[in-house]
Structure 1
Amino acid sequence: MLARLAAVRSRSPAESPFFIAALGVLMSFGPMGTDMYLPGMPAIGRDLHVPQDQVQWTLSAFFLGFGLGQLLWGALGDRFGRRLPVATGILLYAVGCVGCSLTTDITHLAAWRFVQAVGACAGPVLVRAMIRDVFQRDRAASVLSMMMLVMGAAPIIAPLIGGQILIWANWRWIFWAQAAFGLIALLALASLPETHPPARRGSLRPMVLLGSYRTLLTDRRYLGYAVGSSFIYAGMFAFISGSPFVYIDLFGVRPENYGFLFGLNIVGMIIINTINSRAVMRFGSDVMLRMGVWLSAASGILLVACVSGGWGGLWGLVGCLFLFMALTGFCFANSMAGALQSFPQIAGTASALAGMLQFSSGALSGWVVGVMADGTAMPMAAVIGGAALVSLALNLWLVRPVRRIQAAE
């Protein structure tokens, strides 16, 4: 077994048959950390005697920790390589899982969710850097889309697991199941080679880090990709935050069946990511991203109209959410590939900053949905539609058309 792992590490990462699959597992910390406990959110509120908005603190705390923690792991990944920081993050994630399972009040649950998220984000932020280490821009966008097909199983399986656990046990056992996923992730990490050689590693000196962030934050196109995609994330996390209460409390969906409705959206994302992985090699990532934000904005407007008019009841809502969530498959991979393209020496830092913006916007959108909660689906729909329109505006403003760039070059 050790000889096989050594042989895998000695090969080029692009040639390894386990490379994409293992990266997909490490990228799954986000959906596994959020989606598995979504069916249990109403039960958590009842058990801890708190209203919906306070239960959503735990989700916002996870998003905030997942976003801010990426700044730490991105810098460590550029200095010490990719594998060691990921392993450290997985161990911290496991500690957070245990803390969540043992807590007795909502404040400590939110705090342990923050710790859990800080550890969990090491995997996704450095996986994106690994892909930039190995692949160039359009190929990186294609690989990111293919990897999302691998990790696409997580958002389908996670809420189903959470719902089934609630049939046999209480919500605390969901966090023990999340800890078990950490062990699986460690095994996946063991099969991966180090993609960031010592000769390319940077420094942790504060002035060097500040210089890196200044470079990123003053780059127009980087901001267009990173900030623009963060608003699509805000729309997605508004759905994640609001849908358990809309589906279970408003429409009476049983908690064990919530995962099936949630999984429909992931099927749509898998389909669109499959299309994107092929189309991006022909049309380029900028073209596919521009099309994606236009369609996402249109689907957000349709969702608001559907909810305000009451069209189709539950299934009308499910259909509109399916459309919006599926179309994110044109946005995430292409925006991340564009953001990382120009910064190979600080790919970890660039990935971390983009991820921080995405998950911080997710934390904010989840909080807004909770504050606006009025017993209807409108707060969730309004945040999704508004976020999609802002993403479109930022893409049109900051990301110049592809043809103009090529002409300038």
Structure 2
Amino acid sequence: MTLTNSPSQSKWMIPLLGYLVSFGPLSIDMYLPSLPTIANDLGTSQVTIQYTITAFLFGMAIGMLFFGPMSDLMGRKKLLLIGTASYVVSSIGCALVNDGESLILLRFLQSLGAASAGVLARALVRDLFPLDKAAGILSNMHIISMGVMLLSPILGAYIVTWLNWRWIFYFLSALSFISLVAIFLIIQEPEKTNTNTTSLKGYLSVYADCLAHKKVGFYLLANGFAFGGMFAFIAASAFVYIDYFEFSETTYAIVFSSNVSMVIAATFINKALVKHFSVLTALKSTSSLSLAASWLIIVTAVFISNSSIMFIFVTMLYISVTGAIGANSLACLFDLMPSRAGTMAGLLVSIQFIIGGIVSYVTSLIFDGTSSSLLVVMGICGCLSYLFHRLSQR
């Protein structure tokens, strides 16, 4: 049942929901330029600091599977306030830590709050707006999220250069506190509908039914490993660029943001591709390009790993198509099980973060400070992604 908001609420509703969706990427991208500095300041290893990314990714996966069904049972606003408040507190805790192990734990707690914001903001679009406006609103929220992803690494680099890495988390806590107040003042609790009476056990059985379909699993794994390579890059790229290639934090942030620009560009190209051909054709094309990038990555790792230009080129080519692969995979899942669209979306993102967490953990174990070790992981992920894509078409 759609809830009617006052004009003042409607004016700020979409920007607020768009920012809530950005909690996850903002929490990762903003502090990436500071990873080497954090390791030195806390007197801990690069591996430990990389675990903070792994913990965050696992927390996002767990939170997304948990908060969606629970909000149907308990209500959106209450859980959103709890999740955002926990994000505020854990962000302050991240700023005050004195060792890497504490940062890992607090980043996990922070990710649960970020997951609640991301899931419940999307669910509120369904609750608060008519169906014919929902797609446009979600698109606007995505634009806001991508804008945040573009700016956050650069902002984080300036903060760590002129202030201190701890101020990144103070900044995140301040923004999330403002969001907490805005949620309380702007968002009204949607009226409950019949879906709110569904039990948690019922939701778990729906997940099980979807995963029992073999093609669903292959699509999820193909998308998950494509993003796994990107999360490997996120986990180790700061150390490669700043310590190995000796880039400044600001230069690294600009290069990282360029990857996001390429994702946006590839998404627009994919949109045109889908308009003229089928979604399956678009998925084949983007998966093939990802495979080509993966082989280039492996060649670079073996023969020219000391070239920063080649490193930038091959990783940017790989990362550019991840968004398109995700969109095409989800569209294929919708076509496969149209009555389970919400569950398919939740599974896709959750498996994406689970595989991302596993790959980032493996990356932290084998990363030796050079570009080769990172490139090998990305190349393997790309090849596995293409393999599962091919299996999904059998």
TM band (smaller chain)? 0.7 to 0.9
State which of 59, 63, 68 in structure 2 corresponds to 1:65. 59
Give the counterpart letter for 2:195 in structure 1: R
Partner of 2:223 in structure 1? 229
Residue 89 (structure 2) pairs with residue 86 (structure 1): no
State which of 272, 280, 294 in structure 2 corresponds to 1:286. 280
Question: CA offset at residue 383 of structure 1?
Answer: 1.3
Question: CA offset at residue 24 of structure 1?
Answer: 3.6
1:163-202 mapped onto 2 (5 Å cutoff) = 163-183=157-177, 185-186=179-180, 187=182, 198-202=193-197
Identical residues among aligned pairs (%): 31
State which of 317, 323, 329 in structure 2 corresponds to 1:335. 329
TM-score (ref. length: structure 2): 0.87
Residue 314 (structure 2) pairs with residue 320 (structure 1): yes
Question: CA offset at residue 170 of structure 1?
Answer: 1.6
Question: CA offset at residue 148 of structure 1?
Answer: 3.8
Output the CA distance in 1 between the equivalents of 2:125 and 2:273.
19
Question: CA offset at residue 389 of structure 1?
Answer: 1.4
1:334-384 superposed Cα distances (whole Å, 9 cap, x missing partner)? 223444566677655443333221111111111111111122111211111
Output the CA distance in 1 between the equivalents of 2:18 and 2:277.
25
Tell me which moved more, 244-253 or 164-173.
Answer: 164-173
Q: Is the 8 A contact 1:145 1:276 kept in 2?
A: no
TM-score (ref. length: structure 1): 0.84
Tell me which moved more, 239-248 or 349-358.
Answer: 349-358
Give the counterpart letter for 1:3 in structure 2: S
1:183-239 superposed Cα distances (whole Å, 9 cap, x missing partner)? 455548976788896123352343x23312211211233323322211111111011
Partner of 1:406 in structure 2? none
Aligned residues: 386
Partner of 1:3 in structure 2? 6
Residue 19 (structure 2) pairs with residue 31 (structure 1): no
Question: CA offset at residue 145 of structure 1?
Answer: 6.8
In 2 relative to 1, CA 129–109 (structure 1 residues): closer, same or farther, beyond 3 Å? same
Question: CA offset at residue 303 of structure 1?
Answer: 1.6
Q: Is the 8 A contact 1:300 1:385 kept in 2?
A: yes
Q: Is the 8 A contact 1:143 1:277 kept in 2?
A: no
Partner of 1:107 in structure 2? 101
1:10-409 mapped onto 2 (5 Å cutoff) = 19=14, 22-80=16-74, 82-127=76-121, 147-183=141-177, 185-186=179-180, 187=182, 198-206=193-201, 208-310=202-304, 313-340=307-334, 349-399=343-393
Give the counterpart letter for 1:152 in structure 2: M
Output the CA distance in 2 between the equivalents of 1:222 and 1:328.
18
Give the counterpart letter for 1:280 in structure 2: V
In 2 relative to 1, CA 182–288 (structure 1 residues): closer, same or farther, beyond 3 Å? farther
- Which segments of 5 or more consecutive residues in structure 2 lack a partner in the other structure? none
Output the CA distance in 1 between the equivalents of 2:329 and 2:124.
16
In 2 relative to 1, CA 105–158 (structure 1 residues): closer, same or farther, beyond 3 Å? same
Tell me which moved more, 267-276 or 222-231.
Answer: 222-231
Q: Is the 8 A contact 1:93 1:116 kept in 2?
A: yes
Output the CA distance in 1 between the equivalents of 2:64 and 2:206.
15
Output the CA distance in 2 between the equivalents of 1:272 and 1:30.
22
Give the counterpart letter for 2:234 in structure 1: I
1:35-79 superposed Cα distances (whole Å, 9 cap, x missing partner)? 111111111111111111111111111111111121211211333
Tell me the SS of whatever aligns to 1:331. Answer: helix
Give the counterpart letter for 1:324 in structure 2: Y
1:130-150 superposed Cα distances (whole Å, 9 cap, x missing partner)? 6788779xx96x987775443
Output the CA distance in 1 between the equivalents of 2:57 and 2:13.
29
